[in-house]
Structure 1
Amino acid sequence: MAEHTVIDTPDGYHRALDRIVAGEGPIAVDAERASGFRYSQRAYLIQMFRRGSGTFLFDPPAIGRFDELNEAIAGDEWVLHAATQDLTCLREVGLDPVSIFDTELAARLLGMPRVGLGTVVEELLGIHLAKEHSAADWSTRPLPEPWLDYAALDVELLPDLRDAIEGLLVEAGKTDIARQEFADELTRELAVQRSEPWRRLSGIHSIRGLRNLAVARELWLSRDALAQQLDVAPGRLVPDASLTAAAKAMPDSKRALAAMREFTGRASRTELDRWWSAIEAGRTTEDLPVLRGPGDSLPPPRAWSDRNPEADARLKAARAALTTVAEELSLPLENLLTPDTLRRVAWTPPAEITAATVADALAKHGARRWQIEATSQAIAQAFVESSQTPGDASEAAS
């Protein structure tokens, strides 16, 4: 196996740019982050491969921006596996494609039961792809040679995988569906901005009492500020379970907090003053949080039968109908139509339920054209049947 060199100088970057532009065909792209180790989701390695050009491993922190490279290749097709995982960190450094082929998404559209890169490569190319370094700390410098070999192979196989999958899409008559899905990935809002991100704290639903919830909020915010300052994953400082335990216990002194066996983590004692200050702030604040956060989230489906029985009936009927459609098209149900879209239309349906009005509602919630064409009639029929006799429903939904 050839030794791989990380490109981390302006001269190396410009030489690679010239070689990539001189190649032919689509450009395979991948990025490695340090999730679980760093606070940021920045790319710490960006891999590219193009036939006739070779393999390139870029060091983004050293290079900075990739605007010149992007200008040269943005119009070419980029091949990625699970593009939504990488597009944000690529865009942060100026890499923003206008045309992609997502091999992971395409595998889902083909109905493959497992769509991880290693599995898909082995099934379609007959090559075993070890994934032992996928969860490594890619902010490590220098990067070990085995890691570089792993990273290079990820992109070197993508063009062949893309060609194999494209052939299967043609056979299945799903090329137009795939094109619509790839285009949607490029326009989708990938970074969700939450108004109260502290509510993502694992175990928060087990916390009872608004005062306890205020303590949980202050602990989360204090940990998040420190994690951002140090560029360390928050859970590596103090795990979620420790914050939840402290919010439930409400220790009455710094000593009591230090004595909690459940309060663990590498910064649990070195930053004890910080955590105690957060607890005191939560215990004394007049700005108590509400039990449920703001937003337009719907109740969980399990609560629908009590809170909105008609919507519950619509949802269950439509879900059963779409399960049949998904089986006929050999598609996962969540790719045929996102569960959230179906729930929103079932909760607040059109005043007059027809295939056309349901189609309009689906479009307003971001459904793609092929999804609308495949599901609107079935959903309208199911909605009507959930509240009328079968004889009336057939006529009303047409």
Structure 2
Amino acid sequence: MADEFRVIETREAYGEAVERIAGGVGPVAVDAERASGFRYSQRAYLIQLFRRDAGTFLFDPTTIGGFDELQSVIRDEEWVLHAASQDLACLREVGLDPAAIFDTELAARLLGMPRVGLASVVEELLDIRLAKEHSAADWSTRPLPQSWLRYAALDVELLVDVRDRLAERLVDAGKEEIARQEFDATVHREAKPPAAEPWRRLSGIHALRSPRNLAV
């Protein structure tokens, strides 16, 4: 794992990353960071991707724009996500839409694992402890601190290894086909309509009491 992480912010750097990803092998681990507790929208402010023989990539979708080239390279590959239903909408918003996924959280649930958060699943399967202190951070912050980027990178760097361990357990449990059907249903599930009043979900809104503050 690299000591210093760089956010891909230009079209030139993005193009180079797509070439490297195309030369990778196997499934593609994908994650996205939002700022839903700080912003009205559910848009992605950082998109992380890992593929074996290619490496880890941290994309800034607010500066890159479209992801058509990346989509064409990875669309038909299996995408590995943890709690995919939380990220698919914001990924599709920038043009990233998988044909097939492996949802590590859903797989953990089907296997009856007692804790299905990513940190817990990684610790049980890989004996590696992940710090999750930045999970509720304001990812619209710029520039993003290195500690945040390190946290974001780890969310995908270990995901393919986790996928492989879970896939073995699903086969052993005779739940491989059930999992495949559940993953497929997640991809094709109709998206929820956006909230009519998204401001009601802002962090700390419950602490406001006066009508004037609520109006603001």
What's the TM-score bracket when you normalise by the shorter of the two chains? over 0.9
TM-superposed CA distance for 1:192, in Å, is 3.5
Runs ≥4 in structure 1, deviation > 3 angstroms? 233-238
TM-superposed CA distance for 1:239, in Å, is 2.5
Equivalent residue letter for 1:174: K
Which residue is equivalent to 2:98?
97
- CA deviations over 1:97-121 (Å, ceiling 9, x no partner): 0010000000000011210000000
Residue 205 of structure 2 is aligned to residue 239 of structure 1: yes
2:204 and 2:127 map into 1 onto residues whose CA distance is 43
Matched residue SS, 1:94: coil
Matched residue SS, 2:48: strand
TM-score (norm. length: structure 2):
0.94
> What is the alpha-carbon root mean square deviation over aligned residues?
2.0
In terms of Rg, which structure is larger?
1
1:87 and 1:268 map into 2 onto residues whose CA distance is 34
Q: Is the 8 A contact 1:74 1:97 kept in 2?
A: yes
TM-superposed CA distance for 1:71, in Å, is 1.0
Q: Is the 8 A contact 1:8 1:58 kept in 2?
A: yes
Q: Is the 8 A contact 1:238 1:268 kept in 2?
A: no
Equivalent residue letter for 2:189: R
Alignment of 1:146-161 (within 5 A): 146-161=147-162
- Hey, which of these two has a bigger chunk of helix by percent? 1
Which residue is equivalent to 1:268?
213
TM-superposed CA distance for 1:49, in Å, is 0.3
Residue 34 of structure 2 is aligned to residue 44 of structure 1: no
TM-superposed CA distance for 1:164, in Å, is 0.3
Q: Is the 8 A contact 2:38 2:203 kept in 1?
A: no
Q: Is the 8 A contact 2:5 2:149 kept in 1?
A: yes
TM-score (norm. length: structure 1):
0.52
Q: How many residues align?
A: 215
Q: Is the 8 A contact 1:166 1:175 kept in 2?
A: yes
TM-superposed CA distance for 1:241, in Å, is 6.7
Sequence identity, in percent? 63
User: Gaps spanning 5+ residues in structure 2: where?
Assistant: none
User: Gaps spanning 5+ residues in structure 1: where?
Assistant: 198-223, 228-232, 243-261, 272-398
Which residue is equivalent to 2:107?
106
Distance 1:30 1:238, change over 3 A: closer
Higher relative contact order, chain-length normalized (CA < 8 Å, sep 6+): 2
Q: Is the 8 A contact 1:237 1:268 kept in 2?
A: no
Q: Is the 8 A contact 1:83 1:102 kept in 2?
A: yes
Residue 16 of structure 2 is aligned to residue 15 of structure 1: yes
- CA deviations over 1:359-380 (Å, ceiling 9, x no partner): xxxxxxxxxxxxxxxxxxxxxx
Q: Is the 8 A contact 1:10 1:63 kept in 2?
A: yes
Distance 1:238 1:73, change over 3 A: closer
